[in-house]
Structure 1
Amino acid sequence: MKYESYNPAEIEPEMLKFWEEHKIVEKLRERNKNGEKFYFLKGPPYTSGRIHLGHAWNMALKDMVLRYKRMKGFKVWDRMGYDMHGLPTEQKVMKKFELKNKEDIEKFGIKKFTEECGKFCVEMMGYMNTDFKRIGATLDFTDPYQPITQSFMESEWWLIKTAYEKGRLYQGLRTMHWDAATQTSVAKHELDYKSVTDTSIFVKFQLVEKPNTYFIIWTTTPWTIPLNLAVMVNPELDYVDVDADGETWIVAKSLVESVMKKAEIDQHKILREFKGEEMEGWTYHHPLNLKQYLPDDLQQNPKLYAVLLSKEYVDDSAGTGLVHCAPGCGPEDYEVGHKNGIPPFNCVNEGGFFENFGSLTGLKAKTDDKKFITEIEKSSALIAKQPYTHDYPYGERSKEPVIFRTTKQWFFRVEDLREKMLAANEEIMWNPVTAKNAYRSWLEHLRDNSITKQRYWGTAVPIWTCKETDEHIVVGSVKELEKLSGQKVA
């Protein structure tokens, strides 16, 4: 092949044809068939469209290693693979059929919808195989692993059953990131953070025993105030009673001037100083008077609308030194609430809307922050509001802001393995070292991993629950399911 000038559009098809006709890749494999073995399994890209520059760059870097190993005489075992389940595929199919939400999918037909998802994945895999070959990748594209195959999904069942047998599978109620746009829980690695400016608010909670005395709290999430169940203070911090225009406000001593300035209080006077531990158990009235909408058992909880102590999650770096606690709206709040016997409460549905909550019914969490602020202002509990710029999580796929929501999920228990994994990480030769540090940081913040999603296109969770006894059966294979059900699984 001779060319007068370099013309990629002309050279590429000729070169690919030459490779195919002369079985170049096959000859490379045959030449090293007795060499030392090197194994490579391709990390799977989503079959949600044609490849983009990121795919090409990733493949080029990895293929470079494989080429080097073959040049060194290694017998390289390599296999291509794809990620096919999940939201990326669902969103493409939803767009194709103009489906807006889960309700539309159910009207369309779940079986029909998943069939369309499968067709889309296989079609895109064919395009992506071709695209990767076009950029010169030398991987084995003859049998890429596919999560939609029965053998692959059955291996996932085996993993879940094994975790169950080892005591590492459990179902729990957790306050988790929730993407209202896609109506499902999302893990930390499925989030993108953006710098946004929200309206933060300062709110006063009136004490029960001292009607003219108020706890002052600060929050950047106004929509969570209706779901407030407690107030957290640091037992070791210094707090003060402050005379603010005739009312007594309780704030951290170090934050008095800051709070008074934001509340535009010109004259104030510190009345007394005390430690946070003194406030444990003090009770207050919720500013929106929503107690009647809480579950009966929660209404009877002795620690409802009371002060809880927390050294871990309360400081005087910002705000007021008192933290409003909504166990159904945040992991730290959940943890403190659980420790004190306060169950998480969250009346927000899958779409992010408040349900059965008086005048707030129908308002959308986060989106309707201004309306929530208006309700607080009507109750005369709002003392200040100001813009606040911070990093906020967005759904990786939906590109919409996420919220926290209490939901029941299945988890793999891994937090007790943190120290063991950190030690193992030190034994790995990382290059560059920044990757090692990043992975160490991820391990240090490791939490039990949720394995369930509230969607349609994915591996079915092989767990059957008795509605009467709440007992579970975890199935590890198709053969086991057929034996238990007495039916042939198609």
Structure 2
Amino acid sequence: MAMGGTRPRRLPRNVIFETPGSVSLPELEQRLQELWTKEGTFDASLARRRGRPRFNLYEAPPTANGSPATHHVAARAVKDLFWRYKTMAGWYAPRRAGWDTHGLPIELAVEREMGITARSQIEDFGIEAFNRRCRELVDQSIAAWKSFSDRMGYWLDYRDRFLTCSPWYMESVWWAVRRLFDQGDVYRAFRLEPYCPRCATTLSSHELELGGERRRPIARARLLISLKNDPSVRLLTSIRELWMLPAEAAIGVDAQATYLKVRWRGQVVVLLPDAVRLLDGPVEPVARLSGADLVHLEYLPPFPEPSADRRFLTVAVRQPGETGFVHLAPAHDQEAFDVCREQGIELRRALDSNGRFGPDSGDLAGRFVHGVNELVVAELKRQHSLHSVLAERKASPICWRCETPTIRLG
């Protein structure tokens, strides 16, 4: 039954439609679009149903960072089915156009266009000029999307469109955040997040899945670290990745374990009994030590903080690694973060937002996080603190935008 209770007109069975021998689909498409525009078909379909039950379908706004592609046809065709069906069923189904015009997708598109590979190049070009080019790309992309949507018969109301970069839109988001804050649902805290040092942004768990993983070379290491009050006594320690050393805040030790003090190559070394096999050559046992007696000892870190009056101590952990002592870098490792937070140890960050080491990192200052292992090894050798380096390949998440290996950053 059609709207208004009238029965739709049926065509006689003997009516035969004649079609031309050849049809130009692009011409037919253009004539139909011109007819819809001339007669205001979309507006009329809404006006005739205004006041009827409303059907809302909130479209996830596409990102205005380029032209649409073939796969967008399928997605929009499916969404259009719901709008058209509800309209034909008598519902009032408005369709509001909108675009996501914020964030890295647009910035990265402009960077590729301009050949920019580092934030410093954006600053040299001028942030205001760069933002202006981003807005120009948004306008170009919206024009391409409108043409694309019109050609596939995907009706949208562009007069009441929304852009996430509009002041009123941003203010509405901040209004919502303020409401949450006033209700006590927003608070400030530190946590570790997946981070892309190239894009200088965190990634959600969903974004990590988008990027997938890639095997990359990493370097674990064993070190010989001296105690501050008695530098002749050295701890055989381990570090998950060499680049984390400048961010270490403590060394973990198992307070429940029994340790050995041995004499090896003219120096005294403390380690777990099972780790003695890691020392090549003659080893002379000196004494057994309780792990509890090794907690809260001050040691000399390979990368101290020249500008800070900070004490580096051993702390109790449940998993001290194969040697019995593990370097804790809470700004980059979740287990270390949890331990240091429980024990009130201050977070130490060696990297800036661009993934480069800060001025207190010695020869690493200004270097990008991926690619400093050789410099770290050279510094440890200079200090006679390197026991061994273990090179291996590890599957690591990569950024879905730029394919840079991600890190954890607190």
Structure 2 spans left out of the alignment, 5+ residues: 1-17
Report the alpha carbon displacement of residue 186 of structure 1 after superposing the two structures with TM: 1.8
SS at match of 2:95: strand
With over 3 angstroms needed to count, the CA separation of the structure-2 counterparts of 1:141 and 1:284, relative to structure 1, is: same
Residues of 2 paired with 1:6 and 1:389: CA distance?
58
TM-score computed with the length of structure 2 as normaliser: 0.77
2:324 matched to 1:307? Answer: no
With over 3 angstroms needed to count, the CA separation of the structure-2 counterparts of 1:108 and 1:34, relative to structure 1, is: same
Identity %: 20
Kept after mapping to 2: 8 A contact 1:252/1:322: no
In the TM superposition, what are the counterparts of 1:215-364 in structure 2 within 5 Å? 215-219=236-240, 221-233=241-253, 241=260, 248=269, 250-251=271-272, 260=277, 279-286=294-301, 288=302, 290-291=303-304, 293-296=306-309, 298=310, 301=311, 304=312, 306-311=313-318, 314=319, 322-354=325-357, 355-364=359-368
Q: Which residue of 1 aligns with 2:223?
A: 204
Report the alpha carbon displacement of residue 82 of structure 1 after superposing the two structures with TM: 0.8
2:123 matched to 1:106? Answer: yes
In the TM superposition, what are the counterparts of 1:52-451 in structure 2 within 5 Å? 52-169=69-186, 176-182=193-199, 184-188=200-204, 189-191=206-208, 192-206=211-225, 208=227, 211=232, 213-219=234-240, 221-233=241-253, 241=260, 248=269, 250-251=271-272, 260=277, 279-286=294-301, 288=302, 290-291=303-304, 293-296=306-309, 298=310, 301=311, 304=312, 306-311=313-318, 314=319, 322-354=325-357, 355-378=359-382, 379-392=384-397, 394-405=398-409
Indicate the structure (1 or 2) with the bigger Cα radius of gyration: 2
Q: Which residue of 1 aligns with 2:14?
A: none
SS at match of 1:121: helix
Partner deviation per Cα, 1:370-405 (whole Å, 9 max, x = no partner): 33234334434232312132223x333333233444
Residues of 2 paired with 1:32 and 1:233: CA distance?
72
Residues of 2 paired with 1:376 and 1:88: CA distance?
40
Residues of 1 paired with 2:152 and 2:168: CA distance?
30
Residues of 2 paired with 1:401 and 1:225: CA distance?
18
The residue type equivalent to 1:372 in the other structure is: V
Larger deviation: 68-77 or 125-134? 68-77
Report the alpha carbon displacement of residue 359 of structure 1 after superposing the two structures with TM: 2.9
Partner deviation per Cα, 1:128-185 (whole Å, 9 max, x = no partner): 1221232332343442211122221221232243244334455566655443323x33
How large is the RMSD of aligned CA atoms in angstroms? Answer: 3.8
Residues of 2 paired with 1:157 and 1:202: CA distance?
46
TM-score computed with the length of structure 1 as normaliser: 0.66
Structure 1 spans left out of the alignment, 5+ residues: 407-490
Residues of 2 paired with 1:5 and 1:373: CA distance?
74
The residue type equivalent to 1:347 in the other structure is: A
Report the alpha carbon displacement of residue 121 of structure 1 after superposing the two structures with TM: 1.1
Kept after mapping to 2: 8 A contact 1:203/1:382: yes
Kept after mapping to 2: 8 A contact 1:241/1:273: yes
Partner deviation per Cα, 1:203-233 (whole Å, 9 max, x = no partner): 12435268455333241x3111122221234
With over 3 angstroms needed to count, the CA separation of the structure-2 counterparts of 1:78 and 1:249, relative to structure 1, is: farther
